[in-house]
Structure 1
């Protein structure tokens, strides 16, 4: 598999469609990691241990952490989030997405932890209207509905939730799957439930036990020389290396998109799920995390139709539903990173690039090639 996938990505490098990529595969044959191309236009050869910004691939880790806290009795997925976030009591909901912020009705029920995991909080991007005043107000308040840069949010977690509490929801809790603020709320909840900051909690519970020493909300000191730049618009630097936004600990550790990592580190996490959770997660938790939780109506909703393309959603992961294709679950990041597990084949695969928006053609071709290889196996 690695030979074929590497050759395909080499073709995109040669054509100029892709500067470079790190490819990682874990299967019954063991772990294989390789790099093709360069770190960017005119850059140095890309190394297999390159540190990259994984943006929304943070979500599956946050979901796994939630299941760990549930197993420890610190929370239940059915719990109302107001148990830890009293600021969010008595939610109001706007009557219309494009209506006035102060034209609201009471929420029909409380938001639960599961609503956050499944992104059915009742708040996020409203693509189906030309203008959504509530979402625009969230942007104006600096709540992070924009490019995934740590410096985009300058609120502490307590300040963030206070600002968010001043906004109504844009729809009733549980009604729709909608990107993207649910995991921002989840990260604050997890820290309060465990009584420690999210970076410390994630490190103690998942990163350290898995040996993910290159993963964190800031680039670890020992790994700074391996951070590669992220580009946008071809050769324009979105985030560099010497002045990267990820060099210092963020004011707001974002559970939905704040981590840096490496292909090798993320392969360890993928393998944990593929192996049933090991000593860190129960098999039931992995099954719940990787199962589709959406209704048919929610899968075809305005946000889901853009981000999920007809597939399902578990806890932090997209879930493939097409029985004609290899079963898989996983997720990608808005800066060009993707990961999927293929449980029926015992395979976990990671593709790391660094570009905003992700370079769609080579990424889609990578996964199509892997589907074909697994389907023929």
Structure 2
């Protein structure tokens, strides 16, 4: 089996990515490897503390923050969210998923916190992006690839959301992405603090996640990687430079995909989950909350329908959960997710493993690239 360094170097050599950082920890054994450069122009080499736009690796962090507020008694899993999000007090639903956006019926029941955590509130991306009710998610809410400077502030964003119909009735179907952003607004309103402040005080500072946030301060820009999409013949097209969209705090801190971080920082978060919510002798979450986060909550039919994104795997709170499958990288109970900016991170409770790979090339679609699959196969020992 290839070593972790060989996995990374192979993909850098073949032109899949300009560079990458990977961390695989099993118990007290931690293997950190780097390959390639922080940009595609032959500049600084990649380093263990390079900072990346982690995109949807933000989602598990958001879920953990929500569980903290549940433990604080600020809201419960079954509580309707309209108490804090009055914009969603009377949601409308398209009559069928393929109906025009003005062919709507009332929601059969309120949207709950549990609906948001499990991505079953009725908002988000289905496998078919051509459905009429999906278009406003891109055009009006700026869902999709992270673009911090393009999104309206939370109150204005929620006002826009209130005018967009649900694609399915609450609880009926798993839909990707939007629920995490809604959850971020819920967290901020329920705790009475901006989301960045709450995450910093309750998660990042206790865990020592000193390089994680919604923007990169000027003194750290030299460690911030450039962000690309794949061009023709192994070339890379620049999407965002270090002094670009993440160099200042955005109006809308996206709880679905707005964070920057490092391998070491996400490792601290993953290790806390493996320890049942405890870090440095301090309980940030209860074991029960971690179990809820890392347990599959989907029905078999919902798993099948979400296949474009999860490939039939389960979904906990903010991340996928492996179920019994024959994929060479599948490990039942593995919890985590991927980021559209080229990132992936999981914990494997059965083996006490945290596995993280961060690169800087945009995914071409929901299907994870070979770079990630080879990394997962290495972690699974196959």
Q: Is the 8 A contact 1:40 1:235 kept in 2?
A: no
Q: 1:29 to 1:126 in 2, by over 3 A?
A: closer
Shift of the alpha carbon at 1:323? 6.4
Matches within 5 A, 1:71-90: 71-90=71-90
1:129 positional shift: 6.4
Answering whether residue 95 of structure 2 is matched by residue 95 of structure 1, we say: yes
Matched, 1:164 2:161: yes
**Comparing 266-275 and 120-129, the one that deviates more:** 120-129
Q: 2:287 aligns with which of 283, 286, 291?
A: 283
Q: Which ranges in structure 2 are unaligned for 5 or more consecutive residues?
A: none
Counterpart position of 2:150: 152
2-side partners of 1:66 and 1:293: how far apart?
16
Query: Are the counterparts in 1 of residues 22 and 32 from structure 2 also a CA contact under 8 Å?
Result: yes
SS at match of 1:321: coil
Q: CA deviation at 1:14?
A: 2.2
1:369 equivalent to 2:378? Answer yes
CA distance in 1, matches of 2:126, 2:338: 21
C-alpha deviation, 1:259, in angstroms: 0.3
Tell me, what secondary structure is at the counterpart of 1:300?
helix
Match of 1:292, SS state, is: coil
1:205 counterpart residue number: 202
Structure 1 runs of 4+ with >6 Å offset: none
Unpaired segments of 5 or more residues in structure 1?
Answer: none
2:323 is matched with: 321
Find the counterpart in structure 1 of residue 314 from structure 2: 312
Q: Is the 8 A contact 2:24 2:379 kept in 1?
A: no
| Structure 1 residue 184 displacement after superposition | 1.1
The answer on whether the counterparts of 2:94 and 2:100 sit within 8 Å (CA) in structure 1 is: yes
Q: Normalized against structure 2, the TM-score is what? A: 0.92
Partner-residue secondary structure (3-state), 1:272: helix
Q: Decide whether the 8 Å contact of 2:8 with 2:34 is kept in 1.
A: no
Secondary structure in 2 matching 1:332: strand
CA RMSD of superposed structures (Å)? 1.7
Work out the CA distance in 1 between the residues paired with 2:129 and 2:40: 37
The equivalent residue for 1:353 is 359
What residue number does 1:336 align with?
342
| Distance of aligned partners of 1:240 and 1:129 in 2 relative to their CA distance in 1, 3 Å threshold | closer
Q: How far, CA to CA, are the matches of 2:186 and 2:16 in structure 1?
A: 41
Alpha-carbon distance in structure 2 between the residues aligned to 1:156 and 1:23 = 34
Change over 3 Å in CA distance of 1:345–1:129 after alignment to 2: closer
Using the alignment, how far apart are the partners of 2:212 and 2:94 within structure 1?
A: 39
Matched residue count: 366
Normalised by the size of structure 1, how large is the TM-score? 0.93
**Deviation sequence 1:333-376 (CA, Å, 0-9, x none):** 00001001111111101100011126711211111121126xxx
